[in-house]
Amino acid sequence: LFEYKEIPRPPFLPFVFSFAAKLEQVPPKDTLSDPNLLFKVQRNAQRLFRYDGVCVIFNTSLEAEACGCSVVWEKGMPKVLTHPLNEGLNVDEIQSIPIEKRGYVPTAFEAANRLKMVMGKDVALLAVITGPLTFASHLKGPSFITHAKKHSEEFTELMEEANRLLIKLCRKYCELGMDVIVIVEHMLGRLGAEGSNFISPFLQTLSNVAKYYNAVSYTHL
Residue 171: its pLDDT value, please? 98
Residue 44 has pLDDT above 80, yes or no: yes
CA distance 105 to 102: 6
Please tell me what DSSP assigns to residue 217. E
CA distance 140 to 90: 10
Please tell me what DSSP assigns to residue 56. S
pTM comes to 0.93
Residue 195: its pLDDT value, please? 67
User: How far is CA 48 from each of CA 14, 20, 24, 31, 212, rounded to the nearest angstrom?
Assistant: 13, 10, 12, 19, 33
Residue 78 has pLDDT above 70, yes or no: yes
Share of the chain above pLDDT 90, in %: 77
> What mean pLDDT is predicted for residues 124-148?
91
Residue 75: its pLDDT value, please? 79
CB 100 within 8 Å of CB 155: no
Q: How confident is the model at residue 86 (pLDDT cuts 50, 70, 90)?
A: confident
Q: What is the mean pLDDT of the chain?
A: 92
Category of 151 on φ-ψ map: left (φ > 0), alpha (ψ -120 to 50) or beta: left
